[in-house]
Each structure stands twice: as structure tokens, then as C-alpha cells.
């Protein structure tokens, strides 16, 4: 009985994720169609990007200082998902330019991940007791 409920919950979650992904993918075109072409899809996506910058800024600065270390660790882990996109760009592309940009993205993301974990390690070291 519990297994069936879990399977049903997972299926509902999968359906919800698919619906959200589909809606997000078609949001710029829907905004353009709803306004009769008055809103360019690029401008719509740019506005969402700018709004997400402001939301991220206010979320990070509203966190208490005691929670900065876990926030840094989680942010670093989430940003490391970019590696998947860089690997896909390097592996799937048939164009030399796309492969080059994918390789540059892979190098930069690797530096970002390494630096993020290094900073997190140093932040955690501040909380350790010092041996005297």
C-alpha cells in the first residue's frame, strides 16, 4: 500500500515538473502572442533575468550571518550543475566554435566549483576550536 502511494506521489510530482517546464519554455511566446507581438520574447526573458538578479540579491542579503556558510555550500552545489551543460556543449556539438565555447565554459565552471568549495572550507575552519 505504501509503495503504491509513493509511486502515485512520484508520478504526480513528475507530471507537475513536466507541466512547469513546458509552461516556462513557452512563456515568452505566450507573452508575445497575448500582446499581439508587442513584447519580444528576448525582452521578456531579459526582464525575467534582471528580476531574478534582484530577488537573488535580496535573498542573500536577508540571510543572517550565521547561515552564510550553509548558504554558500548549497549555492556552490547548485551552481556545479552548470558542468552538465558545459559537458553537453563539448560532447554533442558538431561545430568547432560551439566545442570551443563549451570547453571554455567547462574550465570556468571548474574554477568556480573549486573556488567555491575552497571558500566554504575556509569558512567552516573559522568555527573549529583552535588547539593551544
One domain, residues 78 and 128: yes
One domain, residues 2 and 20: yes
**Alpha-carbon distances of 125 from 65, 66, 73, 112, rounded to whole Å:** 15, 14, 13, 20
One domain, residues 75 and 112: yes
Say whether pLDDT at 126 is over 90: no
Structural domain containing residue 85: 64-132
Tell me: the pLDDT tens digits for 8-59? 777 777 777 777 777 767 777 777 777 777 778 888 889 999 999 999 888 8
pLDDT score for 113: 85
What is the C-alpha to C-alpha distance for residues 107 and 131, in angstroms, rounded to an integer? 38
One domain, residues 69 and 115: yes
One domain, residues 40 and 95: no
Find the Cα–Cα–Cα–Cα dihedral 8, 14, 19, 24, rounded to 10°.
Answer: 160
pLDDT score for 14: 75
Tell me: the pLDDT tens digits for 80-118? 787 887 787 788 777 888 888 888 888 888 888 888 888
**Alpha-carbon distances of 114 from 56, 74, 80, 85, 121, rounded to whole Å:** 22, 14, 10, 17, 11
One domain, residues 18 and 49: yes
What is the band of 72 on the pLDDT scale with cuts at 50, 70, 90? confident
One domain, residues 39 and 81: no
Kindly report the pTM of this predicted structure.
Answer: 0.48
Say whether pLDDT at 132 is over 70: no
One domain, residues 83 and 44: no
pLDDT score for 1: 66
Query: To which residue does cell 513528475 refer?
Result: 14
One domain, residues 57 and 119: no
One domain, residues 45 and 75: no
Find the Cα–Cα–Cα–Cα dihedral 74, 77, 80, 82, rounded to 10°.
Answer: -50
Q: Identify the domain boundary among 13, 29, 62.
A: 62
One domain, residues 10 and 37: yes
Q: Total structural domains in the chain?
A: 2
One domain, residues 48 and 82: no
Amino acid at each position: 500500500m505504501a509503495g503504491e502511494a509513493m509511486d502515485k506521489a512520484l508520478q504526480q510530482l513528475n507530471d507537475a515538473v513536466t507541466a512547469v517546464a513546458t509552461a516556462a519554455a513557452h512563456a515568452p511566446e505566450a507573452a508575445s502572442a497575448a500582446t499581439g507581438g508587442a513584447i519580444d520574447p528576448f525582452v521578456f526573458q531579459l526582464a525575467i533575468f534582471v528580476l531574478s538578479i534582484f530577488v537573488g540579491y535580496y535573498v542573500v542579503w536577508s540571510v543572517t550571518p550565521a547561515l552564510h556558510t550553509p548558504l554558500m555550500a548549497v549555492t556552490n552545489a547548485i551552481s556545479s550543475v552548470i558542468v552538465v551543460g558545459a559537458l553537453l556543449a563539448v560532447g554533442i556539438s558538431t561545430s568547432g566554435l560551439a566545442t570551443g565555447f563549451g570547453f571554455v565554459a567547462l574550465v570556468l565552471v571548474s574554477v568556480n566549483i573549486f573556488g567555491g568549495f575552497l571558500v566554504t572550507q575556509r569558512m567552516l575552519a573559522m568555527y573549529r576550536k583552535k588547539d593551544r
